[in-house]
Amino acid sequence: MGRCRLTLLLLLVALIAGCSALRLGYRQADTLLAWRANEYFDLNPLQKHELDVRLEPLLIWHRYEQLPEYAAFLATAIKKAQAGLKHDDIVWFVDGFKARYRVIVSHGAVDAAEMLAALAPEQIVALQKRWDKDNRKFVSENELDGSLEKRKRARLKKTLSQIVDWTGSLTYEQEQKIEVLLDAVPLIEHLRHADRIRRQQEFLQLLNLRTNQREFRPKLQAWLLDWERGRTPEFEQLSGEVYAKRIAFYLALDKLLTHGQRQIVLHRLQDYVDDCKALSEKPRRAGA
């Protein structure tokens, strides 16, 4: 098949298909999303019922209108990979993910704003406690309180795990070369940690407006869509550098993959395409 630059395709799959393409997981999406919302907000019975009522049409819309488009998008991405993915194709892919995220936000922002308006003060406290737990986990997983070497090892461990999830396995020699390649990418997790806390504080400030829907809705939607707005100059500059270096990293990584490893990635991507198509097929009417 030749050298296919496939690895960057994992970004969209991990973020979109990773939650929806597996048939069993998608069919339980309402339960999973409700459980997740309750985990963060400690919803009362009435709020749980309201969430279920609002989730049903949203998931139907996503299943029958968005999944076919995801399938087409991923199929195009596979074709690009088979032909030999180039820098512009990678940018197309990442931009495509961002566009699809924005579609979901735009479609669900009104429901989200109305649900958030019903939050009680103690539920906002529950959200803060959950965020504190998540933030501590982020610090621990990325060794942010450790030395530079510990932080590098944590990033390498996470990167290798993500790659192995898709390629099946890596040789010791491949892992050693990946470590060298990854070392050229600046460490940015400490800035991500600070920025996520900033975003959390912005959200809490937004919630103070939740009873004024005329003002709250557009500001919530803007907050969800413009997630890069408000970054520090240092984070903004380094993010651009990391993005460019990550592209170079994955293109170099592709040259390390064997034909068999590429086939595993291609087959998994095709499985996601097939799942999206199968899930988006509307049930046949009785007697049709």
Tokens of 117: 């308006």
Helices marked H in the chain — which ranges? 10-12, 18-20, 23-27, 29-41, 45-61, 67-83, 87-117, 121-141, 148-167, 172-182, 189-207, 213-225, 233-256, 259-279
Please give the mean pLDDT across all residues of the chain: 85
The pTM is what? 0.84
Which pLDDT does position 283 carry in this prediction? 78
Residue 23 has a pLDDT of 53
pLDDT at 2 over 60: no
pLDDT digits (tens, 9 = 90+) for 38-89: 888 888 999 999 988 988 898 889 889 999 999 999 999 888 877 767 788 8
Q: How far apart are CA 50 and CA 165, in angstroms?
A: 37
| Nearest CA-CA partner of 75 in 279, 288, 280, 276 | 276
Check pLDDT > 60 for residue 204.
yes
Average pLDDT over residues 231-248: 93
Q: pLDDT class for 13, splitting at 50, 70, 90?
A: very low
Give Cα 83 to chain centroid, integer Å.
Answer: 26
123 or 105: which leads in pLDDT: 123
Cβ–Cβ < 8 Å for 170, 160: yes
For the stretch 268-277, pLDDT in tens is: 889 889 988 9
